[in-house]
Structure 1
Amino acid sequence: MSRDSAFALLFDEFRQISAPALWLVDDNLDFETLPAVNPSVHAFTNRFDIYQGLTERGWQCDFCDGLENVTANHYHTALIRIPKEKARAHHLINQAAAKLVANGKLIITGMKQEGIKGFIDRAAKAAHSSAESWKADKQTWAAAVTINQFTPLDDQDYLTLRQAPRDESFHFWSKPGVFGWDKIDKGSALLVEHLRTLSAGVEIKSLLDLGCGYGYLSLHSHRLLGAHISATDNNAAAVAACRENFAQFNTLGEVIASDCGKSIESRFDAVICNPPFHSGFGISGDLTERFIQSAARHLTSEGVAIFVTNLHIGLERKAQPYFQEIATPVVTEHFKLIRLRQPR
């Protein structure tokens, strides 16, 4: 992973912190560039892999989507590397401002192409203050805003679940913070269309949905196959939305926060997956292999794993060390369905 200069700017500030500080962190944190643990800094993240990584390295860290249970007016500094989604960025700024002592400092960093200048300007205006800005280079900015009074930014009511995408079977509960939160992914719809055909000949009593999002594949898998569903995602917002959909539609199963299913020990008759090969995750060979490896580890010897990917993802080649039977029975203009059996 290339060095994130916006995180580097943020980490420069850690060395000066001695009073309680709040660090709101998500997206692709590079653990190799982390500074030494600062006991005054308390991290909060909506990414389970980041929560595990920071905790293992000795940082104070909580896994959550919001800060409703965090004491207000407690922290002297709040630090944010701006995330990619505008609603979440505004939510983090609002949450940070609410947790700072009077005249506390909000420090935000980001890249010019991510709109960091706009976030700095909006944060300063909301604080009825000015921003002290500096740069690492022409593309990487940081700013400190003093928070006394604060008018919250529009975060699209970030924490509230709402009925957003719908199809002929379900009106799904979702929210900002979940990838594609207000849409039905076309690749996932293709998988559902062919799920019964591709799972034919396998008795499916249990099914694992890797990277479940708000639960589209899980709910349809339960509807079509009647299996017990274990859904897992790395993102706290997705876990919350999927749990709500399970409750609303009486889906038999559970929703588990986990990084690529790493903390799940059970094996399943079927594994389904629409891997998160999109902006914010990248199309990395390592990530591809991690999802395949997880599917192989969690599949019974007679089970079936079904992946949907974009055409350009070479998942079949990556799957060869992990599965004996690899087929691509469905190919469309943009997607392909890959059927994997007999884990090695």
Structure 2
Amino acid sequence: MATSNINQLLIRNIDALSATTPLLVNIADDGFITQYLTQHGAAKVDSYHTNYAEYKTCQQLNNARVQAHFCVEYIAKNKHDMAIIHFPKSKAEFAFTLAMLAESMTEDATIVIVGENKGGIKSAEKLSKTYLEYCHSADAARHCLMYIAKFIPNIPRFDLQKFYKHYSVQVQDKTLQIAALPGVFSQKSLDAGTAVLLANLPDTISGKVLDFGCGAGVIAAYIGTIHPKTTLSLVDVSALALHSAKTTLALNQLTGEYIASDSLSQVKERYDFVISNPPFHQGLKTHYGATEHFLGEIKQNLASKGCITIVANSFLKYAPIMEKSIGKTKTLVVKKGFAIYQCYLNGRN
């Protein structure tokens, strides 16, 4: 695995990153942790992730000096003398991360913030004034920046609920209440693609339903509202998304099963209906591989006459992948730059 630009910047500063109980925050490991442990022999590392795939990669190091965590809210058992934070693509998520971490750090803890220039890292100093006493540029390389910072003493206690955005969605005659944390797709309003999808769902939906890449849970909430006898399962790679989806369903008096998964890796059941606005953005780059893998593998999770319906930007050629991997695929509608593709396993199309 090639070392990312961010980790190359960290490695070139590895001597200066000495700590006894460092916390890594959404740092994707491609060899950095092993190098860090070699350089700093007394360190015990905690690695916190909101991305399940990155969490599993870290967990697979199987090193007694590394503890991996996948959760929404990180709370340290023992306070950390350093945090190395990957600057997120969502500026609101950066504030969320700083507010959450303050209680887990020692008073004199060093805060290291790293990110790509095109990812907005240059705004770190401005965005952190509420939480950080100072935030100074320390190094630049590989189109990335690294800042050194320190928390302001006595930051108010973290309250997860204060970071939720709430809004209503009107779909035909149904009104849904949506809740979303920073960094979750469509945090502030219903996106156009999902709106087109909800207007073109199968007429009858019953049995077990999977919302793949659930985000804030809009699709599952709507299906559960109009088809109350369905059993809902929601899957996402993001801890922030899964927590948001659970909150959304609760607001609409619904319940579901919530599955943290790297694509379909943790999805074990077969479903009568799979409904999805599948993700094609990963980090800062447009990335289609995750959705192509999902479409190539979903057949194994469809019931004998299961149906899959997805929405995608109309320029994305997903229909041929569905034809090859699942069966005859219809394009139901092309509207507002989005296409709805549908395939019934073993017939109907």
Which TM-score applies when normalising by structure 1? 0.85
How far the C-alpha of 1:81 sits from its partner, in A, is 1.5
Which is further off, 327-336 or 164-173? 164-173
In structure 1, the residue matched to 2:193 is: 187
In structure 2, the residue matched to 1:145 is: 149
Aligned CA distance change for structure 1 residues 109 and 318 (closer, same or farther; 3 Å):
same
State how far apart, in whole Å, the 2-side matches of 1:222 and 1:126 are.
40
How far the C-alpha of 1:157 sits from its partner, in A, is 6.7
How far the C-alpha of 1:97 sits from its partner, in A, is 3.8
Which TM-score applies when normalising by structure 2? 0.84
Question: Does structure 2 retain, via aligned residues, the 8 Å contact 1:87–1:158?
Answer: no
Q: 1:253-307 CA distances to partner (integer Å, 9 max, x unpaired)? A: 3222222232121101111110112363744342122221342221112111001
Residue 216 (1) aligns with residue 208 (2): no
Q: How do 1:96-115 residues align onto structure 2 when only pairs under 5 Å count?
A: 96-115=101-120
State how far apart, in whole Å, the 2-side matches of 1:305 and 1:337 are.
10
Long gaps (5+) in structure 1? none
| Residue correspondences, number | 332
Question: Does structure 1 retain, via aligned residues, the 8 Å contact 2:48–2:70?
Answer: yes
Residue 53 (1) aligns with residue 57 (2): yes
Question: Does structure 2 retain, via aligned residues, the 8 Å contact 1:8–1:33?
Answer: no
Q: Which amino acid aligns with 1:223?
A: T
Percent sequence identity over matched residues? 21
Q: 1:149-206 CA distances to partner (integer Å, 9 max, x unpaired)? A: 3657xx9977643532422421222232311111112211211111134xx5xx7311
Q: Which amino acid aligns with 1:190?
A: V
Q: 1:7-49 CA distances to partner (integer Å, 9 max, x unpaired)? A: 32234455653500111116xx3x4454417362101111111
Q: How do 1:111-126 residues align onto structure 2 when only pairs under 5 Å count?
A: 111-120=116-125, 122-123=127-128, 126=131
Q: How do 1:183-332 residues align onto structure 2 when only pairs under 5 Å count?
A: 183-197=189-203, 204-225=206-227, 226-278=229-281, 280=283, 282-332=285-335
- Matched residue SS, 2:58: helix
Question: Does structure 2 retain, via aligned residues, the 8 Å contact 1:269–1:299?
Answer: yes
Aligned CA distance change for structure 1 residues 269 and 17 (closer, same or farther; 3 Å):
same
Aligned CA distance change for structure 1 residues 151 and 243 (closer, same or farther; 3 Å):
closer
Aligned CA distance change for structure 1 residues 110 and 36 (closer, same or farther; 3 Å):
same
Taking only aligned residues, the RMSD between alpha carbons, in angstroms, comes to: 2.9
State how far apart, in whole Å, the 1-side matches of 2:131 and 2:248 are.
35
Question: Does structure 2 retain, via aligned residues, the 8 Å contact 1:123–1:145?
Answer: no
Q: Which amino acid aligns with 2:34?
A: A
Residue 40 (1) aligns with residue 34 (2): no
Aligned CA distance change for structure 1 residues 125 and 175 (closer, same or farther; 3 Å):
closer
State how far apart, in whole Å, the 1-side matches of 2:254 and 2:135 are.
50
